[in-house]
Amino acid sequence: MTFFFEVLVNGLMTGIMYSLVGLGFALIFKASDVFNMAQGAMSLFASLALYGFLEQYMHLPLWLALLCTVAVMTIWAYAIVFVVLKPLVNRPPLMLFMATFGVTYLMEGIGQSIYGTQAKGLNLGIPDNTYEVAGIFISSFDLFFTAVAAVLVVGLVWFFQKTRNGRALRAVSDDHEAALCVGIPLLKAWTITWIVAGVVATVAGVAWGTRLGVQYSLSFIALKALPVLIIGGIDSITGVIIAGLIVGAGENLGEVFIGPYVGGGIQTFFPYLLALLVLYFKPYGLFGKEIIERV
């Protein structure tokens, strides 16, 4: 039984990372109806930039490097909104989706030309000790990022529920035209959303980068986020966070307890299997808003 909980807890820790990536998707989807394929690439670029500021080009102290990384992601947010999205306003969602695909390749390309193609080890000096809590082994590294993710989520909830800008962003995500009519500037709202998504991507990218090294496969965690979004319901922030945990726990438990019967290696597709099941019973996700359209 202890073993079960150990696998579960480890899965949940991975799940938090999935939640973070999913969160970035959900934020942008809610605010601008764009399914942002570049969310993974944003995480990648953030971790590359951090590596650049910390080790490759400069040797800034960690806090300054993080600040600079967020600044870089802010520049990306402005560039994406004003260069890519603004000319495509009112075009079909598919076009916007494809445009974010383009952004993915652009980010990867620029990342490669600035930072090179080798995988890099990102060391933030977070101790990686293992503690035993009630018979379960937990790494301090995982705990640290769990805490960071929790703070981030609480901060986001506060931002969206309690601040004027957050309220304006919720209004934009609810009804673009009505938001315009009460005087909310759409492009500014989108830019803020993309900046917030950039910050989320930074946290996710840094967490993944420190754990697995900064490498280009990082931009594929976007694919891990897909089942998360389907299970949680893409328009629900809470849903995405919970779904991330479900996917993390599910793939770990599945691998350990079901894997041996089918020859193992089910970790990669188990989340999709879960997502299919959810789609079958709840097409809008566990927490998604059911859309009933008038014909």
Partner 1 sequence: MNEKPEPLLRAEDIHISFGGLKALDGVSLEIYPGELMAIIGPNGAGKTTMLNILNGFYKPDKGRIIFEGKERPRHMKPNHVAAQGIARTFQNLALFTGMSVLGNIMIGRTMMMHSNLFSQALYWRFSQKEEIEHREAVEKIIDFLQIENIRKTPASMLPYGLRKRVELARALASEPKLLLLDEPMAGMNLEEKEDIARFVLDANEELGYTIALIEHDMGVVMDICDRIVVLDFGKKIAEGTPEEIKANPEVIRAYLGTAGG
Distance separating alpha carbons of residues 232 and 266, to the nearest angstrom: 21
Which range touches partner 1 (CB under 8 A), out of 97-105, 134-142, 176-184, 277-285? Answer: 176-184
Distance separating alpha carbons of residues 278 and 260, to the nearest angstrom: 24
Distance separating alpha carbons of residues 158 and 36, to the nearest angstrom: 23
Burial 8-44 (b: 16+ CB within 10 A, else e): bbbbbbbbbbbbbbbbbbbbbbbbbebbbbbbbbbbb
The nearest distance, CB 166 to partner 1, in angstroms, is 9
Residue 119 or 178 having the CB closest to partner 1? 178
Q: Does 185 bind partner 1 (CB under 8 A)?
A: yes
Per CB under 8 A, contacts with partner 1 among 232-271 are: none
The nearest distance, CB 77 to partner 1, in angstroms, is 14
Contact between 210 and 124 (Cβ < 8 Å): yes
Contact between 84 and 103 (Cβ < 8 Å): yes
Q: Does 157 bind partner 1 (CB under 8 A)?
A: no
The nearest distance, CB 170 to partner 1, in angstroms, is 6
Q: Does 180 bind partner 1 (CB under 8 A)?
A: yes
Instruction: Among 173, 193, 210, 219, indicate the residue that binds partner 1 (CB under 8 A).
Output: 173
Q: Does 117 bind partner 1 (CB under 8 A)?
A: no
Instruction: Among 31, 54, 192, 199, indicate the residue that binds partner 1 (CB under 8 A).
Output: 192
Radius of gyration (C-alpha) of the chain in whole angstroms: 19
Distance separating alpha carbons of residues 205 and 46, to the nearest angstrom: 6
Structure tokens that stand for 132 in this block: 């035993």
- What residue spans of 233-269 are helical by DSSP H? 237-253, 259-262
The nearest distance, CB 162 to partner 1, in angstroms, is 9
Q: Does 184 bind partner 1 (CB under 8 A)?
A: yes
C-alpha atoms less than 13 angstroms from C-alpha of 50 in its C-beta half-sphere: 31
Residue 54 or 241 having the CB closest to partner 1? 241
Residue 159 or 216 having the CB closest to partner 1? 159
The nearest distance, CB 165 to partner 1, in angstroms, is 5
Instruction: Among 1, 94, 134, 182, indicate the residue that binds partner 1 (CB under 8 A).
Output: 182
Distance separating alpha carbons of residues 71 and 221, to the nearest angstrom: 23
Structure tokens that stand for 19 in this block: 């939640």
The nearest distance, CB 200 to partner 1, in angstroms, is 16
Chain residues in the site for partner 1 (CB under 8 A):
163-165, 167-168, 170-171, 173-175, 177-186, 192, 289
